[in-house]
Amino acid sequence: METIHLRIQDVCKSFGNLRVLNHVSLDVPQGSFTTFLGPSGCGKTTLLRTIAGFYTPDSGEIYLGNRFMNTVPSHLRNAIMVFQDYALFPHMTIEENITYGLRIRKMPKDQIQARLERTVGYLGIGNLLDRMPGQISGGQQQRVALARALIMEPELLLLDEPLSNLDAKLRINIRAELRQLQQRLKITTIYVTHDQAEALALSDRIAVMNEGKIVHYGTPQELYYHPADPFVASFIGKVNLIRGRVTQHTLEGTWVDVQNITLLVKNHFTYLQPQAEVILCVRPETVRIVRASGDREENAIPGYVTNFIFEGATIRYWVNALDQEWVVDVFDPAEVLPPDTKVFLRLKPERIHLLPGGSQK
Amino acid sequence: MSTRVREPVLFLVIGVLIASLMVFVVYPSIQVFLYPSGTDFIKILMNPRYQRSILNSLYIVVLSTLSATFLGFIYAYAITRTDIPFRKFFKGISLLPLFSPPFMVAFSYIMLFGKNGLITSKLLGLQVNIFGWHGLWFAQTVAFLPVASLVMEGVLQSIPPSLEYAGRNLGASGFTLFRTITFPLARPGVAGAALLVAIQVLADFGNPIMISGDFSVVATEAWMRVEGWADIAGAAVLSLLLLVPSFLIFLFQRYWVSRRSYVTITGKITQIDIQKTGTWIRWVLFLICFSLSLLIILVYLALFMGAFVEGWGFNWTPTLRYVQEILSRSPELTNSLLFSIFAGAGSAVFSITAAYIVSRKRFFGRRFIDFTCILPAALPGIFLGLGYSISYTKPPFDLYGTAAIVVLALMFWNIAMGYQTGIGVFQQISPSLSEAASNLGAGSLRIFREIEIPLIKGPFFSAFIVSFIRAITTLSVVVFIVTQKNVVTTFSIMNLVSDGFYGKAAALTCTLLIIAFGLLGITKLVLGKNVVLFKV
């Protein structure tokens, strides 16, 4: 059973008239890697900074372990942050930067030295210690910023889009390293990003935020296959959203009617009443596309190809079916279906997710 | 060469700019160098009287610079980085002296803290002699504190907030954060501010002439040399002694300090929640800011009172005599007003034109214009005034006693401010704006009217205001060039103060203040936030 390390309870924060955090609640398990994911302006950075103690919540509580944190000033919280712009002190050497926090704590010199060597070893930056921050590359600055946080053996490691200033290739390398290091050191880590691929690759848990609220909090798989609402569904990965209506629940699963085509969904969405409006979420890679020949197949929708892109490992098709555009990814494609080819889209019954329709788009 | 053919108007304007700078900045400066002979140099430098004044100048520059910079830093830190009450008020008060005559502080403190001072003698019953180095130190500290504070505010605000956040996040707070992060990052800026203050203290003429008594400094001795002995050569030597250090500091500041600054622009500027300042630090800072702003407010109060009191120090009967005197007859006020309007307008047109051309065009002589437009900022008023007095009071340019000589001196002395403001604004506005307009089909006249004019308006008016106010409040530039015929207000005030006619002097000073603040108020009202004043 996992223990809760960080608890955020009903936190609100406004800047002037703008409400940036709107009743946010969240439990972060010990040793986990949790990501706050959302578009810019969703409040994710504000939440992170509130945890760090740079902002005081207008209402609500924050607990770290069992300690009530609201009243603890930021410099006494051992919640260390890696800043988006790294915030390396330009007037100190790399070594002085990394050991800054320990020197503030007045730790004995030999202990600082021991920790410095260990931390620098993890990150492979031992040769940079005498340099100034202006003299090293972006990737190196990133590692130094991380070292400066890790050397503190923080209770909570906070990362504010730390990879956003790196080029794409470096980003993927450091991403993998970061994850390995976190798992080895078992530090409870909170990561802020707007990049859903990064979030899926790194996280144990993801909190998707929108307009100051957490709209879905769960594992990457839960978010991907069972998103809480259309926003989450379309923010993470690509998704086809189709309106339909529940007809009945049977032993096999839930039956849905989409423009007089009956589809089986092999998950029990019994909380949805028959006749309820629903939105079907269908991931592009879960759809099989076949040439239309003869009779209509089970769980299949007729349509025709409008466009395609060949991407090597996959072909992405755009298919017009049921008066809307579908995106379908085909792996290991044997043949290419040119535009105007009549096709069936075969939906896997166990891969369709249903969301309550009604007022939502 | 191609410029001459393609754009004749531009070529003409560049020619006029270069010629004017040669004639009105470079020529008078060189004249000061050429006037004295070798023996004049030796005579002055060997004279114990001037040796003492050189030492005095050094001594007071160090003292006043240190105190003004130190207090200015505390003031700026308190109003930008802490949560002490009345920060806005303190900030506002510290801006007032920037728009006031520089000698005003000394004059006012004589009335407040002198032998017959309102506070020292009347209220506290003390016998104090304020004349001397201590009075000068006191007056200059308060007079130059606002400049120091303004520069330092800029320095503190340019430190990326994430660095202080990072420091706090790693466990530093309060004084530790200040000692390890904030101050080291501000240090290059503080050094720059100190140098800026040092130049101004060194060149200060108004405060020492009024309050330093027997403690002579180089600036006042230069004037005495002419006034007492009609020895222009001696005055030239002394004013060169002022020029050399201030010119070196200027070069050093411009080409070295500015490059060493840590300030970097990082993309995201985040809101700062000002942390709670420790209780006792908060009160200490508040007390410091309160005392300093009180010292500034007192300056104005005393001047205002002085204008309405029969005989300051012995007869406190209220009177409207001085105000009536000024209203009925004061050629110096009319002169001041007219000269400053012409000088201000001329300076604005000249400096904005130069700034526009330098930032938009590439041509031969561009670096000369750039350098010479900023140069006047490094020229002590005494030096430039003397240069004009040497160059333009005899044929071929005999402007002795005319309005022209005063207007020209004031105009060119002030081009640096407008020029720098202009350059700052034009650098922020991309030239591609005009290109975009042209690309969208606008003709060149239309581009000028609809794109360039609105952009130039802001810097033009701020250049005018700043030049006007500096022109109407300066004393050092005019002391060598005014006569009975072209006398200006500041010169009259100086004579009235030295003769002990405080009432009329105060009334005249107040009138200058009313004109300066009135104009400032009107401009702010008309142009709103478009006016950038005193960009440092």
Q: What is the pTM of this model?
A: 0.80
Subunit contact B171:A56, Cβ cutoff 8 A: no
State how far the Cα of B195 lies from the Cα of B189, in Å rounded to an integer: 10
What residues of chain B lie within 8 A of the CB of A83, using their CB?
Answer: 162, 165-166
Please tell me the predicted confidence (pLDDT) of residue B72: 94
pLDDT tens, residue by residue, B97-107: 888 888 899 99
What values do phi and psi take at A184, rounded to 5? Answer: -70, -45
Four-way CATH pick for B1-34+320-536: 1.10.3720.10, 3.90.1200.10, 1.20.1740.10, 1.10.390.10: 1.10.3720.10
What percentage of chain B has pLDDT greater than the value 70? 91
Subunit contact B165:A54, Cβ cutoff 8 A: yes
Q: Is the confidence at residue A1, as pLDDT, over 80?
A: no
pLDDT tens, residue by residue, B281-325: 889 999 999 999 999 999 999 999 988 888 887 888 888 888 888
State how far the Cα of A138 lies from the Cα of A165, in Å rounded to an integer: 8
Confidence category of residue B468, pLDDT binned at 50, 70, 90? very high
Whether chain A has a CB inside 8 Å of the CB on B173: the answer is: yes
What values do phi and psi take at A236, rounded to 5? Answer: -105, 115
Subunit contact A15:B271, Cβ cutoff 8 A: yes
Subunit contact B169:A15, Cβ cutoff 8 A: no
Dihedral of the alpha carbons of B242, B243, B244, B245, in degrees to the nearest 10: 60
DSSP state of A237: S
Average pLDDT over residues B13-29: 93
Subunit contact A89:B267, Cβ cutoff 8 A: no
Half-sphere exposure of B374 (CA within 13 A, CB side): 19
CA distances from A283 to A306, A317, A349, A352 (A): 18, 13, 12, 8
Domains (range + CATH), chain A = 4-234 (3.40.50.300), 238-356 (2.40.50.140)
Cα Rg of chain B, angstroms: 24
What residues of chain B lie within 8 A of the CB of A74, using their CB?
Answer: 168-169, 173, 275
Q: Are B242 and B54 in contact (CB under 8 A)?
A: no
Please tell me the predicted confidence (pLDDT) of residue B59: 94
Q: Which of A98-102, A171-175, B274-278, B455-459 has the lowest mean pLDDT?
A: B274-278
Subunit contact A74:B170, Cβ cutoff 8 A: no
From A91's Cα to the closest Cα of chain B, the distance in A is 7
Residue in A75, A79, A84 closest to B173 by CB:
A75
Average model confidence (pLDDT) for chain A?
89
From A220's Cα to the closest Cα of chain B, the distance in A is 29
pLDDT tens, residue by residue, A103-126: 988 999 999 999 999 999 888 888
Subunit contact B181:A89, Cβ cutoff 8 A: yes
> What are residue B397's DSSP bridge partners?
B394
Please tell me the predicted confidence (pLDDT) of residue B529: 59
Q: Is the confidence at residue B264, as pLDDT, over 60?
A: no
Domain locations in chain B as residue ranges: 1-34+320-536, 36-261+289-315
Q: Does the predicted interface ipTM exceed a cut of 0.85?
A: no
Whether chain A has a CB inside 8 Å of the CB on B168: the answer is: yes
Average pLDDT over residues B261-273: 44
User: Which of A49, A102, A104, A165 to substitute to test the interface with B, most B CBs within 10 Å?
Assistant: A104
Subunit contact A148:B170, Cβ cutoff 8 A: yes
A46-78: burial string, b at 16+ Cβ within 10 Å, e else: bbbbbbbbbbebeebebbbeeeebeeeebbebb
Residue in B170, B266, B271 closest to A104 by CB:
B170
Please tell me the predicted confidence (pLDDT) of residue B528: 67
Subunit contact A83:B264, Cβ cutoff 8 A: no
pLDDT tens, residue by residue, B114-173: 877 788 777 777 777 888 899 999 999 999 999 899 888 888 888 888 888 888 888 888
The CATH number assigned to the domain with range B36-261+289-315 reads 1.10.3720.10
B36-261+289-315: same fold as B1-34+320-536? yes
Please tell me the predicted confidence (pLDDT) of residue B143: 92
Q: Collapsing DSSP states into helix, strand and coil, what is residue A214? A: strand
CB under 8 Å to A260, separation ≥6 — which residues? none
Please tell me the predicted confidence (pLDDT) of residue A51: 92
Q: Are B419 and B354 in contact (CB under 8 A)?
A: yes
Please tell me the predicted confidence (pLDDT) of residue B256: 67
Pairing of strands A79-82, A156-160: parallel
End-to-end CA gap in chain B? 36
State how far the Cα of A258 lies from the Cα of A278, in Å rounded to an integer: 10
Confidence category of residue B326, pLDDT binned at 50, 70, 90? confident
Q: Is the confidence at residue B70, as pLDDT, over 90?
A: yes
Confidence category of residue B361, pLDDT binned at 50, 70, 90? confident
Mark which residues 186-205 of B lie under 8 Å from A by CB.
Answer: 187
State how far the Cα of B290 lies from the Cα of B75, in Å rounded to an integer: 10
Confidence category of residue B266, pLDDT binned at 50, 70, 90? very low
CB under 8 Å to B228, separation ≥6 — which residues? none
Q: Are A119 and A80 in contact (CB under 8 A)?
A: no
User: Which of B162, B170, B260 to substitute to test the interface with A, most A CBs within 10 Å?
Assistant: B170
